[in-house]
């Protein structure tokens, strides 16, 4: 079967219309998953015999001009409102744009590989960002979920922030902890100011922190009896987020009672760790998610 892009889809990857949007469904001996063209958004990943690893909100929008809530939104070319606090749309335009499938393969062992690309001419409003860039997401889906986000500058310099804003499914946030950030400095977006992490991150209230750390983290989901491992490459920040009661209630695309079932542990380059590229240069930030 071939798609609009004339990419031949191998056995194990099919194109579907899901919630009104074009997506690619992966189903192999190693597990299943779903990747939308809208935002190059990985919305599902479930290794064979395991519970789903990614969380999606039942209240998510599925519309051309809105981001999806859950899964792995790509934040680019700025994080949140950007370094000056003025940028719109929040978390950049990449999660609102329709990306193009450029590669789809399944190995003999059942590992799927999809690559999607976004260039400036596919974006309705670049909000002042140079149009001469290529962004590419490589997704490897098998017993491990590997993501590589590569940006290549064209004829102009680029200066950008980026995040693989991963929403993890946990059985109970109050019995979940994130290990691997002990000793790291962080910006506390709830309480304000900077602090230093002591021990594991526990969740007892709204939590929204930008850690200065390139370390591997482990999400210990005690209520489910599962630990997820989040490895990173070329990422100097990890953002940890749970909106808790009040912020969840304020977000129209987030169910009021959904917050106990998720936590975000995001692979990020933001603030002073923004990426600066000379014309023609590339940068790849990656993450590999596995079940311990
Ligand atoms: C996190 C930010 O990465 O994303 C939070 O640190 C923000 O401040 C959250 O609330 C969700 O953002 P959005 O734009 O998807 O609602």
3-state secondary structure 253-281: CCCCCCHHHEEEEEEEECHHHCEEECCCC
Whether 128 is covered by a domain: the verdict is yes
Tell me if 92 CB under 6 Å of ligand 1: no
**What single string gives the DSSP state of each residue in 181-217?**
-TT-EEEETTT-SEEE--SSEE-SS-EEEEEE----E
Whether 265 is covered by a domain: the verdict is yes
Cα(165) to centroid(ligand 1), Å? 9
Whether 203 is covered by a domain: the verdict is yes
Report DSSP state, residue 45: E
Asked if the model's pLDDT at residue 2 lies above 70, the reply is no
Whether 4 is covered by a domain: the verdict is no
Whether 205 is covered by a domain: the verdict is yes
Asked if the model's pLDDT at residue 1 lies above 70, the reply is no
Average pLDDT for the chain: 97
How many structural domains compose the chain?
1
Residue 6: pLDDT band (50, 70, 90) is: confident
CATH of the domain at 253: 2.70.98.10
Measuring from atom 9 of ligand 1, which residue has the nearest CA?
Answer: 241
- Top-confidence residue, 278 or 4: 278
Q: How far is CA 291 from CA 37, 51, 68, 70, 73, in A?
A: 26, 10, 24, 19, 21
Task: Encode pLDDT of 130-150 as tens digits.
Answer: 999 999 999 999 999 999 999
Whether 1 is covered by a domain: the verdict is no
Q: Note down the domain range covering 216.
A: 13-291
Whether 163 is covered by a domain: the verdict is yes
Task: Encode pLDDT of 71-112 as tens digits.
Answer: 999 999 999 999 999 999 999 999 999 999 999 999 999 999
Cα(80) to centroid(ligand 1), Å? 6
Is 5 in contact with 114 (CB distance < 8 Å)?
Answer: no
Asked if the model's pLDDT at residue 17 lies above 50, the reply is yes
Tell me if 241 CB under 6 Å of ligand 1: yes
Tell me if 161 CB under 6 Å of ligand 1: no
What pTM was estimated for this model as a whole? 0.97
Cα(44) to centroid(ligand 1), Å? 19
Cα(200) to centroid(ligand 1), Å? 21
Q: Which residue has the tokens 């690619």?
A: 24
Measuring from atom 8 of ligand 1, which residue has the nearest CA?
Answer: 208
Q: From CA 283, how far away is CA 287, in angstroms rounded?
A: 14
Give the per-residue pLDDT at 3.
Answer: 42
Asked if the model's pLDDT at residue 223 lies above 70, the reply is yes
Whether 147 is covered by a domain: the verdict is yes
Give the per-residue pLDDT at 74.
Answer: 99
Tell me if 165 CB under 6 Å of ligand 1: yes
């Amino acid at each position: 079967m071939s798609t609009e892009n004339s990419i031949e889809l191998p056995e194990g990857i099919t194109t579907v219309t899901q919630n009104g949007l074009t997506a690619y469904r992966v189903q192999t001996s190693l597990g299943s998953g779903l990747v939308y063209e809208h935002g190059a958004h990985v919305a599902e990943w479930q290794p064979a015999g395991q519970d789903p690893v990614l969380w999606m909100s039942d209240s998510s929008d599925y519309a051309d001009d809105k981001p999806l809530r859950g899964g792995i939104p790509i934040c680019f070319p700025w994080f949140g409102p950007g370094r000056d606090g003025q940028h719109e749309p929040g978390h950049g335009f990449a999660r609102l744009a329709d990306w193009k499938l450029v590669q789809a393969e399944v190995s003999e062992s059942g590992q799927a590989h999809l690559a999607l690309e976004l260039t400036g001419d596919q974006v309705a409003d670049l909000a002042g960002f140079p149009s001469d860039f290529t962004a590419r997401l490589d997704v490897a889906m098998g017993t491990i979920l590997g993501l590589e986000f590569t940006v290549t500058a064209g004829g102009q310099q680029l200066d950008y922030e980026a995040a693989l804003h991963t929403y993890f499914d946990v059985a109970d946030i109050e019995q979940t902890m994130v290990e691997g950030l002990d000793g790291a400095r962080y910006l506390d977006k709830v309480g304000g100011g900077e602090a230093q992490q002591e021990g594991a991150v526990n969740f007892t209230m709204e939590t929204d922190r930008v850690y200065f750390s390139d370390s591997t983290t482990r999400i210990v989901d005690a209520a489910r009896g599962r630990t997820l491992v989040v490895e990173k490459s070329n990422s100097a920040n990890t953002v940890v987020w749970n909106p808790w009661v009040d912020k969840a209630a304020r977000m129209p695309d987030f169910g009021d009672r959904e917050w106990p079932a998720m936590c975000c542990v995001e692979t990020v380059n933001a603030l002073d760790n923004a990426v600066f590229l000379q014309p023609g240069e590339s940068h790849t930030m990656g993450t590999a998610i596995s079940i311990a």
